């Protein structure tokens, strides 16, 4: 039931597609909720402290709570498959080397991970597995440097 005011903007995962029709948010790369979605969630929890059941994984738990409110994840990748919420470390995405088994685990069922610079949206929002020093470096490159032509 997403519309312009009520949405959960996330990278969805296929991990729980077999138990939930609409999938779940991937907490690793983060997620964004609209103000309206946050308001509805807050109101539901204020009315009933047990509205959200405990989950071992915060992203799965949040997905279950939002599903009760009929708020579902939306696809956030670009039409060419480039990701806005990067599911792996920045250097892994750039180099194309992503260790592990099912690397498409973090994507909607109809997507495959693009494993090089083409897999990173020019409008990327967040990067999974980025430590504070790396964040400071990215901040420096984005906001403290100038390109001279």
pLDDT by residue, tens only, the chain of 149 residues: 344 444 444 444 444 444 456 666 667 777 788 889 899 999 999 999 999 988 887 877 888 888 899 888 877 888 888 888 887 788 887 887 666 555 555 666 667 778 788 888 998 888 887 888 988 998 898 899 988 88
pTM attached to this predicted model: 0.68
Tokens of 148: 């001279």
Q: Are strands 126-127 and 85-86 parallel, antiparallel or unpaired?
A: parallel
Tell me, what DSSP letter sits at residue 118? Answer: G
List the chain domain ranges. Answer: 8-74, 85-143
Q: What is the rounded CA–CA span in Å between residue 23 and residue 60? A: 9
**Tally of CA atoms within 13 A in the half-sphere of 45 that contains its CB:** 13
CA proximity to 47, closest of 36, 57, 39, 35: 39
Residues forming beta bridges with residue 9, ordered by sequence position: 32, 74
């Amino acid at each position: 039931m997403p519309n312009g005011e009520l949405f959960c903007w996330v990278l969805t995962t296929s991990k729980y597609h077999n138990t939930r029709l609409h999938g779940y948010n991937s907490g690793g790369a983060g997620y964004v909720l609209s103000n309206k979605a946050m308001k509805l969630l807050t109101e539901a929890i204020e009315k009933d402290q047990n509205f959200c059941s405990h989950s071992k994984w915060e992203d799965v738990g949040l997905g279950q709570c939002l599903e009760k409110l009929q708020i579902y994840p939306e696809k956030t990748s670009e039409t060419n498959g480039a990701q806005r919420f990067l599911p792996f470390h920045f250097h892994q995405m750039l180099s194309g080397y992503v260790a592990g088994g099912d690397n498409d685990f973090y994507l909607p069922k109809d997507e495959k991970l693009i494993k090089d610079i083409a897999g990173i949206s020019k409008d990327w929002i967040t990067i999974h597995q980025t430590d504070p020093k790396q964040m400071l470096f990215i901040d420096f490159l984005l906001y403290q440097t100038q390109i001279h032509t």
